[in-house]
A and B are shown apart, each in its own frame.
Chain A
Amino acid sequence: MVLQTRRGFLKLGAILGPTFAALQPSVLFGQLQDAARTLGHGVSAYGARSRFETVVRLLRDSRHSEASSSQTPLQDLHGTITPSALHFERHHAGVPNIDPSTHRLLIHGLVERPLEFSLDDLKRLPTVSRIYSLECSGNSRTLWGEAGATTAQSTHGMTSCSEWVGIPLSLLLQEVGVRPEATWLVAEGADASRLNRSLPLTKALDNTLVAFGQNGEALRPAQGYPLRLFVPGWEGNISVKWLRRIELVDQPYMTREETSKYTDLLPDGNARQFTFVMEAKSVITHPSGGQQLSSLGSHQIEGIAWSGRGRVDRVEVSTNGGEDWHRAELQTPILPLAHTRFRFNWTWDGRETVLQSRCIDETGYTQPTRDALIAARGLQSGYHNNAIQSWKVAADGTVENVYV
């Protein structure tokens, strides 16, 4: 029906019912008219979002905000790129305030020539840009515990995706000349914990970056300004922020962050160590915990999927608690080691049900159920929880996390 006249519109209102009819045309169009009759603000040096947009990171309750985390509002984002201001955070001793003009990267140890690089030095080298996601290995950690009234942000918000710009680490290692006995390196940050991690030389030479750019501008301080390591597909902690030093060595150095932390305790009392890869994972972001379906009928199930081993091959969605699975549509381009958005058109009949998604990556690996993970690892391994996420849609349209 074409709405040509005010009278025609009111007729439509009568057909659609009292709620819709109550919306007078003056209300519908009034704001547009006001805005169109008032001069807007002029150009600005650095843009800000609309004051109507209020989506923010969720801050973990912690005794020390300097050794805490914040989570990305996955359920409120569009597409696959996380705005830098909403990228998740995990700091161990606060965000340092670093002057890039005095910052240096030292590469030394088992090398022919120890070298010190300024930011200007690095920018003289051929840069690459790559779209990669980054996931904290503690993401979804709470899902080893009780289910409850949680959101996609609180269960899965420690993954984010950006365009990273920097220098392949392999190129810098070529400049210093790696000696044959070197098999690992130790990367160190310039924060107040001088966080250090051991990285196998093979990964350093493969696709590891020394990054200074994120989503078109310099790294945010919370993401390592002015320089960070970026180790694609691996647990976030090893992508050392505020990178100041790389020492080439002949063994892993067993730092605090790879022994007492970021190791996965098993029921037999042993712990897995150097569990680097973040395995294939997905989460439905709509409908998801805390949201409400307002009507029966057609709804877009949407979410993101990723794998630390490469590309997402496909995502399957279940609308009946895992009994039947349907192939979701993937938004192209599907990039390796990055978020991929999926969609599935679903007609809700108003009955209570459970929505799930599972990611299958290009290696053929399928995202496991929570029960399968617990059977293999028990309940105290903490990190690397990539279980299928279940959202229960109640008859009243409310959505919450459940275990099935």
Chain B
Amino acid sequence: MSSRHDWTVLTTLLLTVLLVYVVAPQQAASQTFNVGQPVTPAAVKDWGVNISPSGDGLPAGGATAIEGRRIYQQRCARCHGINGTEGPDSVLVGGQGSLASEVASKTVGSYWPLATTLWDYINRAMPFDQPGVLAADEVYGSVAYVLYLNGIIDESERMDAMTVPKLQMPNRNGFVPDPRPDVD
């Protein structure tokens, strides 16, 4: 009996080792259909970036609001207003402290939780009718200027790959997970 038991234990152990260390990684690593073309890391860069909350993807370069003022006035003010408050498109400035009121104003300053989001969005989608036209320094400059208009940074604070992810936005802690179903 004892030796049979030992065999069972040993077999189970061997099977487990086989499954965990041999079969599983191979399944995870092996292509089933061998379809799709391999891409080098260098080629991946050409596809553009997503910016993570910790700043992954942010390029070299940087700018202050002083430097960004000109690009904002040239490229952004036409739709967002010279002060970021006039529209006619999305209001970018003001509204801090309004979110719990009956006339909440959701702006970059009052609502957006991260400055990395602002960099990512301007870089990919702005200006509306000419996306992609801004150089990295111009994106940093317009980010800096919008944050400056919101009173979040000083005019001379430089926005770059180090400072943008570290900025404490006013509504950083204003988001909560989905509790639904909340009504039934």
Q: B-contacting residues of A (Cβ < 8 Å)?
A: 63-64, 67, 92-93, 106-108, 112-118, 121-122, 124-125, 171-172, 174-178, 186, 188, 192-196, 244-245, 247, 249, 251, 253-256, 259-260, 263, 265-277, 279, 365-366, 368, 372-373, 375-377, 379-380, 384
Q: Evaluate contact between B36 and A175: CB separation under 8 angstroms.
A: yes
Give the residues in chain A near B99, CB-CB below 8 Å: 265, 269-271
With beta carbons under 8 angstroms apart, the residue of A117, A192, A263, A279 that contacts B175 is A263
Specify the chain A residue showing the minimal Cβ separation from B183: A368
Q: How many A-B residue contacts, CB cutoff 8 Å?
A: 166
The residues in B between 37 and 63 inclusive whose CB is less than 8 angstroms from any CB of A are 37-39, 41, 44, 47-48, 50-53
**Using an 8 Å CB-CB cutoff, how does the interface string of B169-184 with A read, 1 for contact, 0 for none?**
0000011111111111
Q: Write the nearest CB–CB distance from B157 to chain A, whole angstroms.
A: 22
Q: Evaluate contact between B104 and A245: CB separation under 8 angstroms.
A: no
Give the residues in chain A near B37, CB-CB below 8 Å: 115-118, 121
Q: Write the nearest CB–CB distance from B84 to chain A, whole angstroms.
A: 14
Give the residues in chain A near B50, CB-CB below 8 Å: 186, 188, 196, 247, 249, 253, 255
Q: Write the nearest CB–CB distance from B120 to chain A, whole angstroms.
A: 6
Give the residues in chain A near B106, CB-CB below 8 Å: 260, 265
Number of interface residues of B (CB under 8 A): 50
Q: Evaluate contact between A177 and B124: CB separation under 8 angstroms.
A: no
The docked-state distance in angstroms from the alpha carbon of A277 to that of B177 is 13
The residues in B between 74 and 109 inclusive whose CB is less than 8 angstroms from any CB of A are 88-89, 99-100, 102, 104, 106, 108
Specify the chain A residue showing the minimal Cβ separation from B116: A254
Q: Evaluate contact between B177 and A274: CB separation under 8 angstroms.
A: yes
Specify the chain A residue showing the minimal Cβ separation from B126: A193
Give the residues in chain A near B111, CB-CB below 8 Å: 259-260, 271
**Using an 8 Å CB-CB cutoff, how does the interface string of B140-182 with A read, 1 for contact, 0 for none?**
0000000000000000000000000000000000111111111
Give the residues in chain B near A263, CB-CB below 8 Å: 175
The docked-state distance in angstroms from the alpha carbon of A180 to that of B48 is 24
With beta carbons under 8 angstroms apart, the residue of A63, A255, A268, A384 that contacts B121 is A255
User: Can you sample 17 A-B contacts with CB below 8 Å?
Assistant: A63-B89, A115-B37, A117-B35, A117-B37, A118-B37, A125-B33, A259-B111, A259-B114, A259-B117, A263-B175, A265-B106, A270-B175, A271-B99, A272-B176, A272-B177, A273-B175, A365-B181
Q: Write the nearest CB–CB distance from A122 to chain B, whole angstroms.
A: 8
Q: A-contacting residues of B (Cβ < 8 Å)?
A: 28-33, 35-39, 41, 44, 47-48, 50-53, 88-89, 99-100, 102, 104, 106, 108, 111-114, 116-117, 120-121, 124-125, 128, 131, 174-184
Give the residues in chain A near B53, CB-CB below 8 Å: 251, 253-254
Q: Evaluate contact between B117 and A260: CB separation under 8 angstroms.
A: yes
Give the residues in chain B near A365, CB-CB below 8 Å: 181, 184
The docked-state distance in angstroms from the alpha carbon of A259 to that of B114 is 9
**B interface, by DSSP: helix, strand, loop or mixed?**
loop
Q: Write the nearest CB–CB distance from A223 to chain B, whole angstroms.
A: 20
Q: Evaluate contact between B39 and A116: CB separation under 8 angstroms.
A: yes
Q: Evaluate contact between A275 and B178: CB separation under 8 angstroms.
A: yes
With beta carbons under 8 angstroms apart, the residue of A271, A379, A384 that contacts B176 is A271
Give the residues in chain B near A273, CB-CB below 8 Å: 175-178
The docked-state distance in angstroms from the alpha carbon of A93 to that of B38 is 31
Specify the chain A residue showing the minimal Cβ separation from B131: A192
Q: Write the nearest CB–CB distance from A301 to chain B, whole angstroms.
A: 24
Give the residues in chain B near A256, CB-CB below 8 Å: 117, 120-121, 125
Q: Write the nearest CB–CB distance from B5 to chain A, whole angstroms.
A: 35
A124 touching B125 in the complex, CB below 8 Å, given contacts A259-B175, A271-B175: no
Q: Evaluate contact between A175 and B31: CB separation under 8 angstroms.
A: yes
Q: Evaluate contact between B39 and A115: CB separation under 8 angstroms.
A: yes
Q: Write the nearest CB–CB distance from A179 to chain B, whole angstroms.
A: 9
Q: Evaluate contact between B180 and A277: CB separation under 8 angstroms.
A: yes
Q: Evaluate contact between B128 and A93: CB separation under 8 angstroms.
A: yes
Q: Evaluate contact between A175 and B32: CB separation under 8 angstroms.
A: yes
Q: Evaluate contact between A372 and B178: CB separation under 8 angstroms.
A: no
Supply 17 further A-B pairs (C-beta < 8 A) apart from A121-B35, A270-B176: A64-B89, A93-B128, A106-B44, A106-B47, A112-B29, A113-B38, A115-B38, A115-B39, A117-B37, A177-B28, A177-B31, A255-B117, A259-B112, A265-B99, A273-B176, A277-B178, A373-B183
